[in-house]
Amino acid sequence: MTLLVRAGLLFTGSEEIENGWVLARDGVIDEIGSGQPPHADEVVDEPNCVAVPGLVNSHDHMYQWATRGYAPDGTLFEWLRTLYPIWARIDADSVRASARAAMARLLLCGCTLSTDHHYVFPSGRKGIFEALVDAARELGIRFHPCRGSMSLGESRGGLPPDSVVEDEDAILASTEDVIHRFHDPRPGSMCRVVVAPCSPFSVTPRLMAESAALARRHGVRLHTHVAETLDEEKFCLERFGKRPMQLMEDLGWTGDDVWFAHGIHLDDAEVGRVAETKTGIAHCPSSNMRLGAGACRVADLLRAGARVGLGVDGAASNEYANLTGEVHQALLLARVHGGPGALDARSAWRLATQGGAECLGRDDCGALAPGKCADVALFRIDDLVHAGVADALASLVLAPPSRAEAVVVDGRVVVREGRLLTADQEAIAREIGAVSARLRKAAG
């Protein structure tokens, strides 16, 4: 099965090719060229589009689609305290509806590979992780679900209420179980499992350390939240006598198999350690701005040689949830502190593609080249916002599109003419509306 994707401009991640094309065979890129293309079984021909490597979402909490719009003016800890009791009510059905909404939104904005950091497993609710994996298979997105966890409840000095934390041995056993059932390490994989205790203020150092050992025994990656707010820094200094980054390093949580969400409050030495250890950072500018958490030092991290990706974060702290919007926000936010030279448009695209793929450990994704996965996103440049604009690639960052025109994942067309082909997007919207209303009502 061959697929040909043609576009007015093809950005491979390093090269820009006018009237370029990509030929994919069985989900893998066979050839890239310009001008007269070869024959293919299926064709996506968009002369008024820019084609880029499929975007990579390196941090998310998909279940949060069912709880958007809460604590709109709160700090992270205030927002979390508002939401924990509502999250305590989620089950496999609400998680499935949320994941379908999150994944539909991601695909429709050009994202082809996403992680999901799921860390809420209320006692007795079965099938939550399975619901996430099923939704990704149904919608056709390449997926790295994290088996997240919380174990440090309020009664033991943590932030979350005891009702949403789990027993640590049960967490480790369940994590091992989902790795055995769902992790596919092969090149071109559509599903890889990640081990991901939630944060220094919601799990114990023992669980962090044992999670890292478990992940390394199985050759899977590690993910968690680090240095998101000054409240977290204060918590770590008071409880452990260390800054968050030092705590994580002492627990074995640095290396090229680890990536952190946020990494905002890092001092110069910590920026250097992140780069030296090849630890990745998932930058989530909209969520960080919504929660007033601060600004990740993206320009400093890149200068130090660190791996930096972009994430929408959960929709409860980024209701727009558009990954091309994060490319836009990353560029603007970097310039607030660093001036117009802090981040250029092409580097911003690379954060959302190659940078994210590096965080997720995918050397087969994040760029368009022979042998890479056939994951491509196409954006119109003949609409009212973009028609006639100079430098199409930069203009898509300065004026982010509200949706992609076409999206290909694993050589399969999943979005065409801005419509999802793998599921009914209106039905998904109705369903997430009903599930959100039910949770809101139950919360009183």
> Of the two residues 261 and 414, which places its CB atom closer to Zn ion in the complex?
261
> Of the two residues 115 and 354, which places its CB atom closer to Zn ion in the complex?
115
Identify the CA nearest to 269 among candidates 239, 245, 242. 245
Q: How far is the CB of 57 from Zn ion (least distance, A)?
A: 12
Q: Which helix (H) or strand (E) holds 114?
A: strand 111-118
> Of the two residues 120 and 407, which places its CB atom closer to Zn ion in the complex?
120
Q: How far is the CB of 160 from Zn ion (least distance, A)?
A: 14
Strand pairing class (406-409; 376-380): antiparallel
Between 296 and 335, how does the x/- string for binding to Zn ion read (CB under 5 A)?
-----------------x----------------------
Cβ-based neighbour number of residue 292 at 10 Å: 11
Name the amino acid, one letter, at 235.
F
Rounded distance, CA 9 to CA 69, Å? 38
Rounded distance, CA 120 to CA 23, Å? 41
List the 2-11 sheet strands across, edge first.
28-34, 16-25, 2-11, 42-53, 376-380, 406-409, 412-416, 419-420
> Of the two residues 61 and 89, which places its CB atom closer to Zn ion in the complex?
61
Q: How far is the CB of 296 from Zn ion (least distance, A)?
A: 13
> Of the two residues 313 and 375, which places its CB atom closer to Zn ion in the complex?
313
Beta carbons of 133 and 405 less than 8 angstroms apart: no
Q: How far apart are the first and last CA of the chain?
A: 53
The tokens of 75 are what?
Answer: 């700090």
Beta carbons of 348 and 296 less than 8 angstroms apart: no
Measure CA 30 to chain center: 27
The tokens of 47 are what?
Answer: 């002369």
Cα atoms in the Cβ-side hemisphere of radius 13 Å centred on 57:
35
Q: How far is the CB of 403 from Zn ion (least distance, A)?
A: 24
Q: How far is the CB of 329 from Zn ion (least distance, A)?
A: 16
How many residues bind Zn ion, per CB under 5 A?
2
Measure CA 154 to chain center: 28
Q: How far is the CB of 199 from Zn ion (least distance, A)?
A: 8
Between 365 and 404, how does the x/- string for binding to Zn ion read (CB under 5 A)?
----------------------------------------
Q: How far is the CB of 347 from Zn ion (least distance, A)?
A: 23
> Of the two residues 261 and 298, which places its CB atom closer to Zn ion in the complex?
261
Q: How far is the CB of 230 from Zn ion (least distance, A)?
A: 17
Q: How far is the CB of 422 from Zn ion (least distance, A)?
A: 26
Rounded distance, CA 42 to CA 9, Å? 20
Rounded distance, CA 274 to CA 38, Å? 44
> Of the two residues 21 and 129, which places its CB atom closer to Zn ion in the complex?
129
- For 239-257, b/e burial (b = at least 16 CB within 10 A) is eeeebbbbbbbebbbbbeb
> Of the two residues 103 and 261, which places its CB atom closer to Zn ion in the complex?
261
> Of the two residues 200 and 401, which places its CB atom closer to Zn ion in the complex?
200
Which parts of 206-265 interact with Zn ion (CB under 5 A)?
261
**Interface positions with Zn ion (CB under 5 A):** 261, 313
